[in-house]
Structure 1
Amino acid sequence: MQSSNTLEAPTLHTRRKRRRYPRKTLGVVFGLCLVLAALSTWLATRTHIVDLGNEQQLSDSGLLQDWAEGAVIVMIRHAERCDSAPGPCLDDPTGITVAGSEAATRVGQGLQHLGLANADMLSSPKLRTRQTAHFILGQAVPSEDWLESCERPFAKEALARKRPGHNLVLVTHNGCIDHFERAQKVPGGERESGYASALFVSVDSTGKARILGRMNEPDWQRVLASAGQ
């Protein structure tokens, strides 16, 4: 007969004591989860600028099809300005450089590849933008003040001038393009436009805009030629 003083061995049913975390630690973890969730949501709403100089990204963007349907606004920053570059000026020191005029001509050749038969074109009244537009199209282009002022309503002004079935080419300034990109929730580090670069925007039948991507001046002829245009 076993002694009543014999200790029973632990069994599988023995309840283990749960580790309890301090409330402060749980609060920190919960708060961190909320921050990560909010950050993920914020990042998901950002619009990132696609490099249309990449042939695959150009194809995936749908630009060529949208352009053929007259559903695109393209915003082109003026070419290299004379007062901030070492190269020779075209003529007036408030305008663009000789190199800038050559770059604008190449952009115009790229647009010709896309087709300008159903495109409207406007320019800022600043000399550097008017000169850029002239070398892009080969002739004088109508100018409007809102393309120079670069104020908050810039995006609405641009969309209001987009005619159904007609692409819209706007020669403007970095600040104006920046306003449009802000309205489309583009992160700050992606909003800088180089000289003669072009931001392409698709506009659907309801007037809603969607950024397709950016084409930098050196990439125009190479990419569009390889796309079979």
Structure 2
Amino acid sequence: MLSSNTLGHPAIHARRKRRLIRKTLGAALGLCMVVAALTTWLATRTHIVDLGNGHQLSDSGLLQDWADGAVIVMIRHAERCDSAPGPCLDDPTGITVAGSQAASRVGQGLQRLGLDNADMLSSPKLRTRQTAHFILGQAVASEDWLEGCDSQFAREAMARKRPGHNLVLVTHNGCIDHFARQQKVVGGERESGYASALFVSVDGNGKARILGRLNEPDWQRVLSSIAK
């Protein structure tokens, strides 16, 4: 005669199997929800394209937006003298000789784009004023907010963008980072190299959209693709 324990084994096994299936389905559903949430989050992030790539430069719409006077470009100062092995331009709180040459190349690129219809401002720090001088070939007006690099930076920049006029801002990595954060740029793409330029399009409603970044070494290579 079979004991009651022996008779109960199939039922216990079935219950355990059902619990295991429920747990497995629950874990799979949870994983799907996490993946869906992550996918949604990533879809809302902004990625900065490399405008040194000719196709991306063309696809970005930068040239037309610039011609329309609808662009803010934020340029990080050139190589700092106090954190580089190369010779200083003069003052140790300013930029290096190599940095001044890089700034001049950026200036040539901006001249090719056209600066007749552009406003230009610089942070009051010496390294930014020197960079702006070598970009434009003359002294540039400076404003304190361009070195503040706080959460108000984006608002200040947008407030100074005149309709139909491009705005060139020579500033700091931290300030550009704050702007990029507000545009939901992913963390690994917010770092700006020396003399790199972040181009932003501003539409008629005052809404900003990042077009991409052009690093200083790429200016000369892409000049030929920019029509005079």
Q: CA deviation at 1:228?
A: 3.0
8 Å contact kept, 1:198–1:216: yes
Superposed displacement of residue 218, structure 1: 1.1
Tell me how far apart the structure 1 counterparts of residues 21 and 65 of structure 2 sit (CA, whole Å).
58
In structure 2, the residue corresponding to 1:111 is in which secondary structure? helix
The residue number in structure 1 matching 2:223 is 224
Rg larger in structure: 1
RMSD of aligned C-alpha atoms?
1.3
Q: Does 1:201 align with 2:200?
A: yes
Residue 48 of structure 2 is matched in structure 1 by 49
CA distance in 1, matches of 2:218, 2:29: 48
Q: What is the CA distance between 1:226 and its match in structure 2?
A: 2.5
Q: Tell me the distance in 2 between the aligned counterparts of 1:120 and 1:225.
A: 24
Q: Which has the higher helix share?
A: 2
Equivalent position SS for 1:116: coil
Aligned to 2:90: 91
Could you give the per-residue CA deviations for residues 52-79 of structure 1, whole angstroms, max 9, x where no partner exists? 0000000000000000000000000000
CA contact (8 A) 1:122 1:141 kept: yes
Aligned partner of residue 155 in structure 1, secondary structure: helix
Distance in 2 of aligned mates of 1:189 and 1:25 = 35
Contact 2:86 2:96 in 1 (8 A): yes
Distance 2:155 2:219 in 1: 28
Question: Over residues 158-202 of structure 1, what are the superposed CA-to-partner deviations in whole Å (9 max), with x where a residue is unaligned?
Answer: 011000000000000000000000000101100110000000000
1:69-84 aligned at under 5 Å gives the runs: 69-84=68-83
Asked if the contact 2:113–2:226 (Cα under 8 Å) also holds between the matched residues in 1, the reply is no
Aligned pair count reads 212
Give runs of ≥4 in structure 1 deviating > 6 Å.
none
Provide the residue aligned with 1:191 in structure 2.
190
Written as runs of structure 1 = structure 2, the 5 A alignment for 1:127-146 is 127-146=126-145
Q: Give 1:107's aligned amino acid.
A: V
SS at match of 2:27: helix
Which amino acid in 1 is paired with 2:44?
Answer: T
Pairs within 5 Å for 1:1-229? 20=18, 22-229=21-228
- Asked if structure 2 preserves the Cα contact closer than 8 Å seen for 1:70 and 1:119, the reply is yes
Query: Residues 99-120 of structure 1: CA distance to partner in whole angstroms, max 9, x if unpaired?
Result: 0000000000000000000100
Unpaired runs of 5+ residues, structure 2, are 1-16
TM-score by length of 1: 0.90
Scaled by the length of structure 2, what TM-score is found?
A: 0.91
Percent same amino acid at aligned positions?
Answer: 84
